[in-house]
């Protein structure tokens, strides 16, 4: 989690640089929206193969000492999907104008913005080949419980965007950022994972073998992910569809979501790291450890997220202003974005929990159930986004996002419970109650502090954030101790424990 948080902080530096360079201009909207078609193409064609289904497959191969068989399956799958994705990218290059016209229809009011978005989309599309290859190689490492490189590769990717802007912006404009993204995808997610997978003993050879049992198994697990739509991914697509009708809204909501993704990384890191362990537990005859592990992970990440939410909401404005104001990003932009960020922050615990619940299904090799559930939840959420956007503007989209992820998380939890995989009774409700109480106390104290410490100076705001962090830590620990929570002692014992010789 710590290493993933570090990579998210570098990602925040990248977002800060983009905001400083582009602000909430038409070019900023075009750049932020240009990632959408490449992401959708990867989502529907790769279907989580690298980070989800492939990890489950390779973990089983590795645990059964069938590494050579897993290596051949990896080569067949990567070769096959590389050809499929490559062909799809060529088609997408031609269809990019139609895509922007339909799914980012608000850009049509500004033809220059729409044209720029098409241009940037075409530059970014080939990067998906590097993400595919890198994701498969990363799965090899994760199956062997090696996670360090997974934290480093996003650093390289984000630095690629920054250096692209620094070195090439004056000559190529915003296109330099897109070129930097492609270079970063090659050097980080692809090349580093390939090198370390090779060092781990995995050898890739281009192989086309339609009868390979590994390929057939992978297709069976991945097709549901390809056919379905999870709100976790669709949330940004839906937001951009509506926000494209309001100038600057795509950029401000994107910046707010990327700032929000820094604390969300805790849950995502826990979910990603838990997958190979859960996969190993699920294949054992006794499923009690599997259920207990899922509930313990969800309970602790929920408790911490609830505590952190009070801080994020109370300190939304000074945090946004300190991090983003400067260049073409003005003080008025900070105020609007802070509102979006505070609303997103309400759902922090839900984003964290659903990441673990979803991987409980994937560890069991069941991708069909979460696909069907996610697709239904997404379809049912569309009227919510529509009505809240037309009623409250872009801020309504942030509220709709919270409601949607609430439905998604509750659906996954109930399905796991009904299938007797993870019992809802196993959650640590007493600890969660203590965290909710502590979270309310922390929010109230920090809200009063923010109200009486308003200032236009970013130095003052930075000091306020530092003081608020100390108050948050002290109050959270104090309230948990007073209410008899075991979380502080559990954290300290785990953090400082030493492994036996």
Contact in structure between 276 and 142 (CB atoms under 8 Å): yes
Using a 10 angstrom Cβ sphere, with 0-12 exposed, 13-18 middle and 19 or more buried, the burial of residue 470 is exposed
At 362-387, the pLDDT tens digits run 777 777 788 888 889 999 999 999 99
Q: DSSP string spanning 140-203?
A: HHHHTT--HHHHHHHHHHHHHHHHHHHHHHHHHTTHHHHHHHHHHHIIIIIIIHHHHHHHTT--
117 vs 113: CA distance, rounded Å: 6
424 backbone dihedrals φ, ψ, rounded to 5°: -65, -25
> What is the share, in percent, of the chain residues with pLDDT greater than 70?
86
More reliable by pLDDT, 175 or 281 = 175
Q: Which of 283, 273, 214 is nearest to 68 (CA)?
A: 214
Q: Euclidean distance between the first and final Cα of the chain, in Å?
A: 25
Tokens of 474: 């002290």
At 277-331, the pLDDT tens digits run 776 777 677 778 888 888 888 888 899 899 999 999 999 999 999 999 999 999 9
Domain limits of the chain? 35-227, 228-488
Crossing angle for the helix pair 26-34 and 2-22, to the nearest 10 degrees: 140
pLDDT of residue 306: 92
Spell out the residues 6+ positions from residue 194 whose beta carbon is closer than 8 angstroms to its own. Answer: 133, 134, 137, 204
Tokens of 135: 């994701």
Q: What is the dihedral of CA 414, 443, 9, 498, to 10 degrees?
A: -70
More reliable by pLDDT, 125 or 297 = 125
Q: Which of 444, 451, 452, 441 is nearest to 478 (CA)?
A: 441
């Amino acid at each position: 989690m710590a290493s993933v948080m570090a990579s998210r902080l570098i990602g925040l530096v990248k977002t800060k640089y983009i905001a400083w360079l582009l602000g909430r201009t038409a070019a900023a909207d075009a750049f932020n929206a240009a990632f959408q078609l490449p992401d959708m193409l990867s989502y529907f064609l790769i279907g989580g193969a690298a980070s989800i289904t492939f990890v489950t497959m390779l973990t089983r191969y590795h645990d059964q000492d069938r590494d050579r068989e897993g290596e051949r399956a990896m080569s067949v799958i990567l070769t096959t999907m590389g050809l499929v994705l490559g062909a799809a990218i060529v088609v997408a290059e031609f269809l990019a104008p139609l895509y922007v016209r339909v799914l980012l229809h608000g850009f049509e009011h500004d033809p220059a913005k729409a044209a720029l978005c098409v241009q940037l989309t075409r530059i970014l599309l080939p990067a998906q080949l590097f993400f595919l290859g890198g994701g498969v190689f990363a799965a090899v490492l994760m199956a062997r419980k090696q996670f360090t490189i997974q934290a480093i590769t996003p650093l390289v990717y984000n630095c690629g965007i920054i250096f692209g802007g620094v070195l090439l912006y004056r000559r190529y404009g915003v296109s330099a950022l897109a070129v930097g993204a492609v270079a970063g995808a090659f050097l980080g997610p692809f090349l580093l994972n390939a090198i370390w997978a090779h060092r781990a003993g995995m050898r890739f050879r281009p192989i086309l073998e339609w009868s390979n049992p590994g390929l057939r198994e992978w297709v069976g697990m991945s097709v549901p992910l390809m056919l379905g739509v999870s709100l976790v991914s669709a949330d940004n697509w839906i937001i951009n569809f509506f926000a494209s009708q309001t100038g600057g809204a795509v950029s401000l909501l994107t910046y707010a979501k990327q700032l929000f993704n820094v604390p969300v990384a805790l849950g995502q890191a826990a979910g990603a790291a838990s997958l190979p362990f859960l996969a190993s537990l699920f294949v054992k005859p006794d499923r009690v450890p599997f259920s207990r592990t899922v509930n313990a992970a969800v309970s602790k990440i929920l408790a911490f997220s609830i505590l952190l939410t009070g801080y994020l909401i109370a300190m939304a404005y000074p945090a946004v202003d300190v991090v983003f104001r400067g260049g073409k990003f003005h003080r008025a932009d900070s105020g609007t974005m802070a509102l979006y960020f505070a609303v997103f922050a309400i759902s922090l615990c839900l984003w964290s929990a659903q990441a673990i619940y979803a991987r409980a299904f994937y560890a069991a090799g069941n991708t069909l159930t979460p696909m069907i559930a996610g697709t239904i939840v997404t379809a049912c959420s569309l009227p919510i986004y529509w009505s809240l956007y037309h009623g409250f503007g872009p801020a309504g989209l942030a509220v709709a996002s919270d409601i949607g992820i609430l439905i998604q998380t509750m659906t996954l939890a109930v399905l796991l419970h009904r299938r007797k995989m993870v019992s809802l009774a196993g959650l640590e409700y007493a600890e969660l109650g203590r965290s909710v109480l502590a979270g309310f106390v922390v929010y109230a104290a920090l809200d009063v502090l923010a109200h009486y410490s308003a200032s236009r100076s970013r130095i003052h705001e930075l000091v306020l954030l530092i003081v608020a962090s100390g108050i948050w830590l002290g109050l959270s620990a104090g309230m948990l101790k007073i209410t008899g929570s075991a979380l502080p002692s559990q954290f300290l014992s785990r953090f400082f424990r030493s492994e036996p010789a």
